Structure 1
Amino acid sequence: MKKHIVTLTAIAVLSVGAATTASASSSYTVQSGDTLWGISQDKNVSVESLKGWNNLSSDLILPSQELEIDGQAATPKTDSSTYTVKSGDTLFEIASAHGISLDSLTSWNGISGYMIYPGDTLTVKGGTAVAEKAPAKTASAPAKSTAPAPTPASAPAEKAPTQASTQAGKTMTVSATAYTAYCAGCSGTTATGIDLRANPNQKVIAVDPSVIPLGSKVWVEGYGEAIAGDTGGAIKGNKIDVFIPTQGEALNWGRKNITIKVLN
């Protein structure tokens, strides 16, 4: 009789352990250097399934991010309208993780340039454009009034369109070359903070920001939909540089005139 009780107890313990393992296996915490492709291979699922289950609009993932890997829950764990910047964050990564454009993120938070600091609180949902934050005054500069000039109640100021919105839907012909993350002198990290060596499947193009705003989604003939996430000293005017993982494929691309379309 005692043996029978022990056996039942062992089965119960094993059942609890199996249930715990099954529960734990339904999600995965992203580690530094992980890619969606690598996780998909390890978990025997497709990249598209991972993106669908986790509402991802791109292949970009961040360390410590929780991913569902069996389709049990495909909705975000939080619905916060703000985000607190952590060490190592970039504006592009934050915008991509929250499904918004880089232009919206900078506009909502009055950010000029791409400098952010740990502890900053950013609006990441439902924001409205605000004036750019003024740089800190030097000790020798006289104090100036920052009060806005009054406007008549009957004539509210009209919000000027952002550069990205004026470019959306624009089609143009450009001269396109290709580059890799391992060229001489390359760090592998783009001007907006995308680690191309850790995300070799990310489609990124280098652009002249005065022609195509950084953070825009762009359809590129012969390449597909990409993020305008990098710049280059030789990329001026109607020129782009497409990121291709391997040097051989980049050389095969060469230089060509192609059609692109700014999507947002």
Structure 2
Amino acid sequence: MRKISKILVPTFVLGLILGGFGLAANASTVTVQPNDTFWGIAQEHDVTVDELKEWNSELDPTAIPVGTEVVISKGESSDNRVVTHVVQPGNTLSEIAQVYDGVTLDRLYDLNEGIDPLTLAIGSEVIVVHESNSTTGHDVVYHTVQPGNTFYEIASVYDGVSVDEIITANPNVDPYFLQVGSEITIPLK
């Protein structure tokens, strides 16, 4: 099993880098090209970097994979947000679920009615997140800690979430020593 994961995980990550995932909402998007940055995209489309960060909170603005769809304007107001993953060669539903924080295989089946895990078509889109903006304040997502993550950095990824709220939601986590791979509870508003 370890040999399989040593082969599949790098292949899957490479798939993400070469064309990974897209966003769909009632918004305009642009596809990231080699050497694109949030600053360059913001300048080209007359928006601010802060707006790009807000509209693309699941992306790391310092490392945007080529092929990623970046929201460049919100367009009309929408109560829903949909995040999709573009299927790459060798992708499985299990691997896709593992890449997105808080997404389970069961959730993928719920969001993608009738999906056949044995016949995922390369280039097809799998819905990985479907959120309503009318949350009750009791909803949470889980963030998997990556190397170099801090509570400040994690809070900046999730719109409207403060470091203090993350600390309160994770009383047994030392904010000065985050374990890579551990899950941090992120309270949504």
TM superposition score normalised by structure 1: 0.27
| Higher RCO, Cα 8 Å, sep 6+ | 2
Greater share of helix: 2
TM superposition score normalised by structure 2: 0.34
Bigger Cα Rg: 1
